[in-house]
Structure 1
Amino acid sequence: MTDTHNTNKANGRPLRVAFIGTGGIANAHAEALRQQPGVELTAAIDIDASRSEAFAAKWGVTRTAADLAEAVDGGGLDLVAICTPPSSHFPLALGALSHGLHAVIEKPPALSLSQMRELEAAEAASSGSLSCVFQHRFGSGAQRLLALQQSGVLGKQLVGTCNTLWFRDQPYFDVPWRGLWDVEGGGPTMGHGIHQFDLLLHLWGPWSEVTAFAGKLARKTDTEDASAAVVRFESGAIATVINSVISPRETSYLRLDYENATVELEHLYGYSDHNWTVTPAPGQDAVVGLWAQGEDQASGHAAQYAGIIRSLQGGEPAPVSIRDAYATMELACAIYASSVSGTTIARGQIDESSPFFARMDGHLEPWKEEEALNA
């Protein structure tokens, strides 16, 4: 198996990147990658030639192609950024691995736990690797909090709140590929709140069980437009997780109560250090001084790509692998399974025998009753 990581490190040439899909989110990837040393923006891939050409001209990309095979035939590539609608993430990631390429996948990385397992197997058989975009892990605030947790200065994890309260009007869902189980995999639980509760899981570790409700309260869509869950962690801590796209005052809010401090983060689509607040418990004022140390690194694609490129150039696996992301996807799936079945779902319970393993709604077409009431 060829180690492309070490090859890049040894010969010192730039890491050659292709973009699959050149719509809106691809610009965030291009801007982030252009900030990284030792990277060449090599190919723009899109079935719409005019769009790929405009993207290439904007970002200084060397050439365009209609598909990945054409781009590979046109010259060597090392890394692809998959920036397409969710239903295409899985087949495109498989295609990249079949060419021995590394790939960065926008969220959600796949539409089901079954697809996640298939990607794990394909990655194990390839010289390429996969990295999932969960950029909130990479801001300095999250990294500082993780270090303080590990030092023990915060004490035990106790109670948490994790809210993604956003607003999307009906025309947003009227776009043909939105709000469909087969195309997006779910509603705000999969497509919006997943970033915030991924950060929660990254900080607080493995979850053990979840009880949830979800529904279609205000929008005409096949998926939910809101969900609410109570999550218990292996540590014993308990958190609530709310995901909504029907909330007029938009916010992304994380509150984590420890024995020795409350740590809060409020932002919308990304954060820097000024978005965090630390409130010490009585007699624990030293925690505030410890928090104030270190430089401010905003969350976002640039922060995650810095880690990805550094790892690949050094011959190391890129951060947020498919295996790393599985726990986050499993929680999303468990929220759906609990809300549809009316039962508490344990981590590991959804396996090949479960209808929710192959599709987040279990092919059960939930919330038809709400749709009829709201018609």
Structure 2
Amino acid sequence: MINVALVGTGSIAGTHLEAFARFKDRCRITALVDRSGEKAEKLKERFGLDCAIYSDYEDVLKLDSVDLVSLCTPPSTHANLASAFLLAGKHVLVEKPMAPSLSECDQMLEAAAKGDALLSVVGQNRFYDPIRRVKQVLDAGLAGRIVHAEANSYWWRGRSYYDVEWRGTWESEGGGCVMNHAVHHLDLLLWIRGMPSEVQAVTVNTSHENSQVEDLSIAILKYPDGTLAQVTSSVVHHGEEQRLVFQGERAKVGMPWQLFASTEGDGGFPQRNPDLEAEIQQVAGELAPLQYTGHAGQMDDVLRAIESGSRQVMIDGIEGRKTIELIMAIYESSATGKPVALPLSKDSIFYAQERILREAPRFHSKA
């Protein structure tokens, strides 16, 4: 039985507890950490938990009754909290984004190595069948070489969304829609397409006067093979349509599920290729559905890694860092107005938090 402590009792904490509740024969919640205790008491009652409540995370560090820490606090706290638990030998599952700077990501990775503990970063969208279907088809090579990818992370948030104390500031949230909303789609894009070699981006704030950070961003990614991807990150899009589309040399595949295959007709004009579409559809249909999806899928992955002793998870700290590196490249390009080459070095103005706070644009004052 794996003993779990949940640190942080904001809105995402309920999602974690619901997911862990799917595995009552494999894990149990032994501790909740909440500064005031009020939210923790409500969660304890809501989920019928038999656990202790602590106001200080340091009280949990030495507990033998904690094997895994589920970290649900604001991004600015992730590095120090995760590092403390990892150095104490506790496994850590940290909510996205991993941390608001690469230096903090590296701090967490170092702590995991020193503490010989597992570090996993939440990326629950990898644990959904629709995106796994797209990846399976593309990995099979049926669509041909990917020549263009499109990630639309469209969300809509009203002004009062940023009335929450820690939102809308570089100090506590670490950025805007790129960091905290598009992080999901960027993770999926990197999972399927890999890291680009160059980024050019623009960020703006169009509609949220009580936020320092961006609410709209457009980025162009260039890959070593000369192909491109474009990423739109937004909290100003009505309808909140979100999609990933991959244009291969032979066919287009996307999520929500899209499939269109073309072949060259007279004069080079496109002619639909139903035979290839049928072949792709067959491969997509062969994928066995996941038993657990979303957060529950990721909790299952983490619990299996601990139970087996393998420490091998789908999204470890290195994978989580990749997403932050791409986000920082987007921010650096936007701040400088220049293309940014990847990988980022430690000399990058968006590597360490103190440099980010000095260089990042503040579109408005935080109310």
Normalised by the length of structure 1, the TM-score is 0.87
Q: How many residues align?
A: 348
CA distance in 1, matches of 2:50, 2:120: 22
The one of 18, 25, 32 aligned to 1:31:
18
| Matched residue, 1:135 | 124
SS at match of 1:95: helix
Partner of 1:324: 319
Q: Distance in 2 between matches of 1:209 and 1:299?
A: 33
Structure 2 residue ranges without an equivalent (≥5)? 263-272
Q: Deviations over 1:13-37 (max 9, x none)?
A: x011110012210111111111124
- Alignment of 1:182 with 2:174, yes or no, is no
- Asked whether the 8 Å contact 1:340–1:361 carries over to 2, the reply is no
Sequence identity percentage: 31
Aligned residues of 2:93 and 2:119 also touching (Cα < 8 A): yes
What is the SS of the residue equivalent to 2:237?
strand
| Contact kept in structure 2, 1:187 and 1:223, CA below 8 Å | yes
Distance 1:260 1:113, change over 3 A: same
**How many angstroms does 1:365 deviate by?**
4.3
For residues 296 and 246 of structure 1, the distance between their equivalents in structure 2, rounded to whole angstroms, comes to 33
Deviation string for 1:156-196 (max 9, x for gaps)? 11111101111111111122211000101000000111101
Q: Matched residues in 2 for 1:365 and 1:162: separation?
A: 24
**What secondary structure, in the 3-state scheme, does the structure 2 residue paired with 1:64 have?**
strand
Q: 1:252 aligns with which of 228, 232, 242?
A: 242
Q: 2: distance between equivalents of 1:294 and 1:353?
A: 44
1:278 to 226, 247, 259: 259
- Per the alignment, residue 308 of structure 1 pairs with 302
Of the candidates 87, 90, 112, which is equivalent to residue 123 of structure 1? 112
State how far apart, in whole Å, the 2-side matches of 1:45 and 1:226 are: 34
> SS of the residue aligned with 2:327?
helix
Superposed CA deviations along residues 302-322 of structure 1, whole A, max 9, x for unmatched, are 111111111111111233111
- What is aligned with 1:19? 6
Would the alpha carbon gap of residues 311 and 104 (structure 1) be closer, same or farther in structure 2, given more than 3 Å must change?
same
Question: What letter is aligned with 2:84?
Answer: G
1:364 corresponds, among 348, 353, 359, to 359
Output the TM-score relative to the length of structure 2.
Answer: 0.89
Counterpart CA distance in 2 for 1:186 and 1:127 is 31
Q: 1:122 & 1:264 partners in 2: Cα distance?
A: 38
Please list every run of 5 or more consecutive structure 1 residues that lacks an aligned counterpart in the other structure: 1-13, 267-275
Query: Residue 222 of structure 2 aligns to which amino acid in structure 1?
Result: R
